[in-house]
Every structure is written in structure tokens, then in C-alpha cells.
Chain A
Amino acid sequence: MTAGTSLLGYPVQIGTATYGAADDPVDTAIMRAGVGNGLLHYADGAGQMRISACYQSGLLTGGGGSSGTVESTPNANQWYLLEGGILGPWPLTCYGDATGPSDFKGYPYRCRVYLRGKTTNASGSCVFALVLCPLGRSLEYLPAPSGAPSPPINFRDHVWISSAVTSTSFAWLTGASRGPLDFANAIQVRPELAQDWTTTENANETSSTLRTVDQVLVALHVYARTSNNAGVPTVSAVSLEEFGGR
């Protein structure tokens, strides 16, 4: 684990007066602690808040929904997509060209995730899943629909599974990513998958200026299952924030 890629962990601002004149010698300290360290530092913080979604409290009138559920009569032990359960696509921020330390090559930024949920009846124990992947691929990565989650699988730290939920009150859920990294509140896409998921996308700049860019477009899929259809899985909040750790 690293505290980021910069030397200092904080930026050092420089002014144009310190480098601006022609024929000035280039000061090593400015280049190293200022420009080099600063660029790396700001890039470490360039991850984006991708999902900051919460239903309303119900204390105010109007304004949309107060929770998201699966189908009203779900079959037991079957994965269902939740209402509002495809949050994407958006472009995953990625490290990875041929420069620099090898442990950053190809890795997307890690994503901090939180999910707040409940069951509507304690007799129906619910399990929730977050799957970060391109649209149309999420079913490939869900664990078996029933029974206990299987052991960690390589390449699966982009899937997060909650502990079983029997509470009928909303709470931030505990869980773990399904790969060997076993993150409690984070998911990580392997570089091999990011490469496999890269597509070419429209990035036109005007109606007549046609451009494309390569991107790793992903969506967070929110699934849930219940042990007994008396208990319907329900969510109130989901968040996903990229950050530059590795």
C-alpha cells in the first residue's frame, strides 16, 4: 500500500516568476517538489465522486421516492436488480501507461463504496451485491443465487457482497469484496479486466469535429436476494467515490 504517487503527499505551488524568464536556469527544487510532486499529487486526487445517491427522508412532502426495492413478490434466493440499480455507465479513472512504478501499471483507481439497506420483514434474510462492470456483463460476476457466498475468486474484487441483513431499519451494510483483496468498503477492478472492457467512445467537440477516445465505461449494478419473499430487500443510499490509492 502506498500513500499515493507524489513525493510529499501535498502540493507545492509555484509562481510564473520562478521559472518564467528566458535563459533562466531551471531550479531542481522547483521541478522536483513543485512541478513533479504537484502534478502527481493532484492526479492522485483526480478521482471523481461517481455516485452519491440517497432517497428522501419522508419528512418532507413530495420530491420523489423514499426507497428502492426489487419486484414486489421476489422468488426466494434469486438475484434481482433493485429499482435504480444500474448506476452508469461512466468512465473509470485509470493509471497505467508504461511510465513509473510497475505496481501502478494498468490499475484503475480504487472505488470506495457504501450501501444502505434493510429487509421489510425479519423472516426474510436479504443479501445485497454491488457489481462494477460494463453494461450487460453483471450476471457473469454474481455469485451463485442461493446458499453461502463461495470462497474469494481471483479477478473478483470488483464485486462486493453484503453480510446477511435481517434488520427492518435502514443501516449502512457491512460486507466484503469477493476477490483476494477482501476490502470492507472498496472495490478494485483488475488491470486485465480494465483492458478487456476498454471501448472507443464518441468525443465529438462540435457537430462537425468528430473525435473518439478510449474509455473503460462501467456501471455499478445493485442486486439483492431474499431467503423468504416475505422480506423484500430495500435500499435508501448508494455511494461510489474513486480515489488514487493502489
Chain B
Amino acid sequence: MSANVPHLRPVPEIDTAIRAGEPVRGDTWMGLGGLANWMNGHGSMIVPWHFSGHTISNGATDTYRYNVSPKAQTRMRVWVVLARANSVGGQLEIAAPSGASRTTYRLSTVRDRVVPVVFRELVTTSTGTQEITLDLKASGTGTVTVDAVSCYEQTRASIGLDTTDWGVDLESLRPRQPIFDAANVSHPGVCDAYDNLDARRTSLLQWSVPTGDSAHTTSASYLALFETPLRVLAPIRNVSLSPMDYVAYAYIKATGGSVFAQATTAAGAVSNSTSSTSYTWLNVGTLSVACEDLSASDGVPAGSVDTIKIEVKVGTGTRVDIAGVSVIRETKPQ
């Protein structure tokens, strides 16, 4: 048994349909159950598109690493890579996770003719913050330039009637069906799905380069990693638009001594340090990110969009290397 995941989002009417002293129609319950299935069954964008510009040497395999918090329902990840060959006959080989068998794609050398490469990775369901990896190898002729990378969780056709997927059996909500108390069915099934909902905007920012091409500096003052702070907003939370927490991580290492990473939004900065001389995902801190205002045509509260700035510096060592950044929402429901 499983619950179908609708392609289009239901918008059940509740203002006039659920009122004290009046019966609630089966159609209303079906709309709510379908809405829960829609949220639990649709995947999230765990790696929003990020620019790279990294060039892979011919014959070399470079690994991209991302720190993500996937949805528990995910069974497939879809990696999409925009890459160009720098010589006619250039190819890209892709594997996910790192070390798995590779699939080969022929690439164009012409900037206006590139076609994104789509690679599907079947995964077992898992939860919690974790590292996922992608191998890219330049084969055929010459080098390959990676322009941009992304990954999304594929939508499920149906989700299970269990306590992992929290699917709701819509047949049990049809008009004239009896109300009864059992898992994943009838009205308690809708309530359980709501209590265990995962509708997160999981990632606001992901960036990765192979460790062999890390960004590095010897500066003892904070230097910005990106050309500009990235513009972001968290999903709507409440009417006063209180900020929502996202956690920033840096994939970072020190060459002697300690190194610092800092992430800044309008609400303030968080920072942390490490003395590790091998790469580690450093929990930089919990960021408060401004929330959307859905009454504005662009969703921006009071005309001001929030930004995230990522910086690194040397503490007492000689050099800081950074090869990854993630800003993710780790806790449900949103």
C-alpha cells in the first residue's frame, strides 16, 4: 500500500469548510491529505545551482563534496552539471557517490551549445546532516571546465504508509468512509502527517570545489569568499516575519595554528575556528535569516532582501584553505 503524490499542489478551502458545529466534507479531508502527501513526497533542492569555473585536468578525477540535510523520503538524487570541453572530443565521466561506477558524456566546446548533463543517483533513505559526493573526471581529449553544479531530490511517485514517509491513504478519506483510528489512514493519518511534515527549503547556499583547487589565503583579516553577499530569504514563518534559523558550515583546513570562518546575515555574524590540518566540515554557527513576506509581489519583506556573506581568515597559522560552504535548514517541519 502506498499514497500517491500529486504533481500539482492542492489548495483545499478551509475558511468556510471547517467551522464549529458544521460537518467537514470528505473532499476537504482529501484535499488536506493530498497536501500532506504533496509536501512529504516532493524532493528538495539540496544543492542549489552554484558557479564553479574549475578546470579538470585530462585524466584527473575531482571530487565535489556537499554538506546536506536530505528529506527522509528521498530515493533518487538528480545531479545536473553544466560543463564544457576545452578540446574537440572532450568527455565528462560522472559518478555519485564518489568511487561508484562512472557514466560518460560527450561535451561541446562551444559556450552557446553546451547542454547540461543529468545524472541520476539511486539512494537509500536516510536522515540527518551528512556529506554527499560527486566525482567528475575529464576523459577523451583535453581538459573540461565545470561551469556550474546542482542536485535535487526527485519527487516520489508514491510514498509509503509508514512512519518514514508519513503517507496518507486518500481512499480512507473519501466521502462516506468511516472515521477510524489507525496509522496513515483517516483523520488521524492526516494529523500524524502534519506533525511529522517535512516541507523544508533545505539549502540556501551550497558551494564546492575539489580540494586540489581550494580557495586559500594567508590573510589574518577576514576576506570574502564570493564577489558579493548572496541574496536569500527563508520561507514565511509568521506574521511578524521573525527570522528562521539556518546552519552554516565550511569545509576548511588549517596549515598550522588555527583558522576562522565567518558567516553574516542582516541579523548578525557567527564564526568558529578549527586547528584541523585535514579538511573538516566546521559548524560555523546558526544564522538568523529574514523570512519572506508573501503580501509583496516579490516576497521581499519591507523592500529589503537578506544576504549571506562568507569570510575566512588565518588565526595563528600560516594558511587557510576552504573547499566547501553550506547553509542548510536541519530541523523540520520547515
Are A42 and B50 in contact, CB atoms less than 8 angstroms apart?
no
Q: How many residues of A sit at the interface, in one of the four size bands?
A: 35 or more
A42 to B195, CA, bound (A): 12
A137 to B58, CA, bound (A): 33
| Residues of B with C-beta under 8 A to A135 | 115-116
Taken residue by residue from 1 to 29, chain A's Cβ proximity to chain B (1 for < 8 Å, 0 otherwise) reads as 11111011111011110011111001011
A206 to B123, CA, bound (A): 8
Are B150 and A203 in contact, CB atoms less than 8 angstroms apart?
no
Are A63 and B214 in contact, CB atoms less than 8 angstroms apart?
yes
B170 to chain A, nearest CB (A): 12
A28 to B43, CA, bound (A): 31
Query: Does A244 make an interface contact (CB < 8 A)?
Result: yes
| Residues of A with C-beta under 8 A to B28 | 36
A95 to B112, CA, bound (A): 33
Comparing B3-11, B97-105, B132-140, B263-271, the segment that makes contact with chain A is B3-11
Interface size on B, residues (CB 8 A): 111
Are A36 and B292 in contact, CB atoms less than 8 angstroms apart?
no
Are A5 and B237 in contact, CB atoms less than 8 angstroms apart?
no
Are A63 and B213 in contact, CB atoms less than 8 angstroms apart?
yes
Known: A44-B236, A47-B235, A106-B8. A183 touches B297 (CB 8 A): yes
Question: Which of A10, A35, A202 makes the CB contact (< 8 A) with B32?
Answer: A35
| Residues of A with C-beta under 8 A to B206 | 52
Question: Which of A2, A83, A184 makes the CB contact (< 8 A) with B298?
Answer: A184
Query: Does A76 make an interface contact (CB < 8 A)?
Result: no
| Residues of A with C-beta under 8 A to B9 | 43, 46, 93-97
A28 to B18, CA, bound (A): 7
Query: Does B161 make an interface contact (CB < 8 A)?
Result: no
Q: Name the residue of chain A whose CB is nearest to the CB of B235.
A: A45
Taken residue by residue from 37 to 58, chain B's Cβ proximity to chain A (1 for < 8 Å, 0 otherwise) reads as 0110011110011111110000
Are B15 and A28 in contact, CB atoms less than 8 angstroms apart?
no
Comparing A66-74, A122-130, A144-152, A225-233, the segment that makes contact with chain B is A66-74
Query: Does A57 make an interface contact (CB < 8 A)?
Result: yes
A239 to B20, CA, bound (A): 45
Question: Which of B14, B217, B226 makes the CB contact (< 8 A) with A54?
Answer: B226
Q: Name the residue of chain B whose CB is nearest to the CB of A235.
A: B51
Are B11 and A99 in contact, CB atoms less than 8 angstroms apart?
yes
Are B312 and A5 in contact, CB atoms less than 8 angstroms apart?
no
Query: Does B76 make an interface contact (CB < 8 A)?
Result: yes
Are A65 and B223 in contact, CB atoms less than 8 angstroms apart?
no
A102 to chain B, nearest CB (A): 10
Query: Does A168 make an interface contact (CB < 8 A)?
Result: no
Are A88 and B80 in contact, CB atoms less than 8 angstroms apart?
yes
| Residues of B with C-beta under 8 A to A181 | 297
Are A204 and B225 in contact, CB atoms less than 8 angstroms apart?
no
Question: Which of A45, A59, A86, A211 makes the CB contact (< 8 A) with B237?
Answer: A45
Are B147 and A84 in contact, CB atoms less than 8 angstroms apart?
yes
Are B227 and A66 in contact, CB atoms less than 8 angstroms apart?
yes
Are A60 and B122 in contact, CB atoms less than 8 angstroms apart?
no
Are B199 and A40 in contact, CB atoms less than 8 angstroms apart?
no
Question: Which of A9, A66, A91 makes the CB contact (< 8 A) with B53?
Answer: A66
Query: Does B65 make an interface contact (CB < 8 A)?
Result: no
B309 to chain A, nearest CB (A): 10
A98 to chain B, nearest CB (A): 9
A55 to B32, CA, bound (A): 42
A196 to chain B, nearest CB (A): 14
Are B224 and A244 in contact, CB atoms less than 8 angstroms apart?
no
| Residues of A with C-beta under 8 A to B122 | 204-207
Are A70 and B111 in contact, CB atoms less than 8 angstroms apart?
yes
Known: A2-B294, A203-B76. A34 touches B194 (CB 8 A): yes
Query: Does A31 make an interface contact (CB < 8 A)?
Result: yes
| Residues of A with C-beta under 8 A to B191 | 14, 16, 19, 35
Taken residue by residue from 223 to 241, chain B's Cβ proximity to chain A (1 for < 8 Å, 0 otherwise) reads as 1111110111101111100
A45 to B216, CA, bound (A): 36
| Residues of A with C-beta under 8 A to B53 | 55-56, 64-66, 68, 84
Question: Which of B38, B43, B295, B299 makes the CB contact (< 8 A) with A43?
Answer: B38
| Residues of B with C-beta under 8 A to A1 | 295, 297
13 further A-B pairs in the complex, CB-CB below 8 A; given A36-B12, A87-B148, A101-B13: A14-B191, A40-B11, A42-B199, A45-B292, A46-B39, A49-B45, A52-B206, A53-B49, A64-B215, A99-B11, A100-B10, A213-B154, A245-B296
Q: What is the interface of chain B, defined by CB distance below 8 A to chain A?
A: 5-15, 18-21, 24, 27-28, 31-32, 34-36, 38-39, 42-45, 48-54, 75-76, 80, 82, 111-112, 114-116, 118, 120, 122, 147-148, 150, 152, 154-158, 179, 181, 187-188, 190-192, 194-195, 197, 199, 201-206, 209, 213-217, 219, 223-228, 230-233, 235-239, 292-300, 305, 312, 322-323, 333-334
